[in-house]
Structure 1
């Protein structure tokens, strides 16, 4: 397990540390009082940092080569830009900082936040066979999805990373990696679940339907409900999904539910939780069909995931 602690009131020293700990980065500030405090816990391919930057800091950074999630606790990130978009973030926001191969820039204003980084290959491993998985958006699908990611990160920080067994158990390391990757796939738009066509501007019908589906993963939903939420007929919403995403609305919802079930199985205690109960909680009431769909998606049965 890697760990580090850093504290400084010198801008040049802080810049040198950020270059070593993250990527080549140029920072600047007009503040006279500079204060930076950073700590890191890391295991396997995951690192979790806590940053307290008590000043206004401009930054321009080279690509990180990793998935980087930021959870803002206080202060703000302003005019953060990368890969054709620009946004600002405040307390409670969760953001994917930048695609692993893209530079980014912006300004931190007296912020306290957590930074979680991991190998992008984990997304592909969890999603199953196919092309490398990419995130298609920098914000989670919904407030509920953001909360899910935040809880997963808190669980890693508070319960897993301090555990000495995490240093030696290969099974535990694998399950921790899969839990984080599954949580991110369930929360953020990505090529494994969202058609893989980044340049497609989805019709308004599809956008409305997606918003409804992503907020209704844990509820009974019919094709009529989806059509009503999109403001069109059943035939129209099915046709729009087929053209834009190459799937049906209910098949898309099933993939969202499979991802939620996988995240729960990875985090569960096999002595207290059953595959049947998890499947039923996410709408899969026929164990055989659940196991078959799950294995087709993830290359292993639900019970194999639970045992890990």
Structure 2
């Protein structure tokens, strides 16, 4: 994973600065920051060394948080268990020994870790260790899992604690993380608009559910029965997407509106419309951008402002898609 290598210019802490951040050499102060940011826990140095050099930044985007942590020295962290969230950890340097639900994981090099909610956990953080973390709210994760399954969960969601970063799934996960951190490096407010934040949350949760093995993986990968076109038409004809295109719609929202599972929505759009529900939403938003650029003048707005308003964060991809769709660049449309 390129993001997790020992790079000369790693992601700066300021990029992911948010509501929770600290830098301290005091063990108790670091523990208190950990409690405020994550949950109640104990933090103890392992050797006779009393001081550490702890630093944490966490950038929240709806139900997910992107962070970077180091404690400098060797410490033991005992949070008991994470009741309200799951934590995915990707090593940047050094190593951690993580015990999750009685299973030991060495988080170092090409191996990360996933800490399940409600699982007993102990972390031995070795000297000169640094990591990226993704904190995922349990409620948001379970809501998405239930929608993809199409029924309630018979038992708690449990991921495999060890994450192989050079596996196919691990590379997809780290590829997404690379894009997210690079986007924050370019503009730390790029995910602030609600319409974009919803897409980021949905993307991260879906990627985690599909890339990291868990006790529902086999069921999620199974074939879904075909659904009647009425469910697709319910989303289209009753103008749900048209009326809510400027809002942070996710696949889960569409599924709940139609009264079926997320997999049914994907299956229905693929079979009856030869597209995906989110591509259909993207087409609606692209049309709205075109209409707005035609209505306004260069003195009233910019292409960037309109694109961001409608949820397009990558301007290079947006411009390419726009030209393919309308035969001219968005700046040409605005100038006419």
TM above 0.5, one fold?
A: yes
CA contact (8 A) 1:138 1:188 kept: no
| 2:214 counterpart SS class | coil
Runs of 4+ in 1 over 4 A off after TM superposition: 293-296, 305-308
Distance in 2, matches of 1:102 and 1:93, equals: 20
The answer to whether structure 1 residue 20 and structure 2 residue 36 are counterparts is yes
Q: TM-score, normalised by structure 2?
A: 0.56
SS in 2 for 1:173: helix
Residue correspondences, number: 214
Distance 1:147 1:177, change over 3 A: same
Q: Please tell me whether the aligned partners of residues 60 and 106 of structure 1 are also in contact (alpha carbons under 8 angstroms).
A: yes
2:134 is aligned, of 105, 108, 116, to 116
State the Cα distance separating 1:68 from its structure 2 match: 0.7
Superposition pairs of residues 170-189 of structure 1, within 5 angstroms? 170-189=194-213
Match of 1:145 in 2: 169
TM-score by length of 1: 0.60
Other-structure match for 1:159: 183
Map 1:1-308 onto structure 2 (within 5 A). Answer: 2-29=18-45, 30-32=47-49, 33-64=51-82, 65-78=84-97, 80-97=98-115, 99-110=116-127, 111-127=129-145, 128=147, 129-132=150-153, 134-140=157-163, 143-160=167-184, 162-167=187-192, 169-195=193-219, 251=223, 291-292=267-268, 301-304=277-280, 306=282
Q: Do the aligned partners of residues 306 and 137 (structure 1) sit closer, same or farther apart at CA in structure 2, a change above 3 Å counting?
A: farther
Which protein shows a greater Rg?
Answer: 2
CA distance in 2, matches of 1:73, 1:165: 24
Contact 1:140 1:187 survives alignment (8 Å): no
Conserved in 2, the CA contact under 8 Å of 1:69 and 1:116?
yes
Structure 1 stretches lacking a partner, 5+ long: 197-244, 253-288
Structure 1 residues 85-105: Cα deviation after superposition (integer angstroms, max 9, x where no partner): 1221212322112x2122311
Equivalent pair of 2:105/2:113 in contact (CA under 8 Å): no
CA RMSD in angstroms comes to 3.1
Instruction: Note the residue ranges of structure 2 that are not aligned, 5 or more in a row.
Output: 1-16, 225-264, 284-310, 312-336
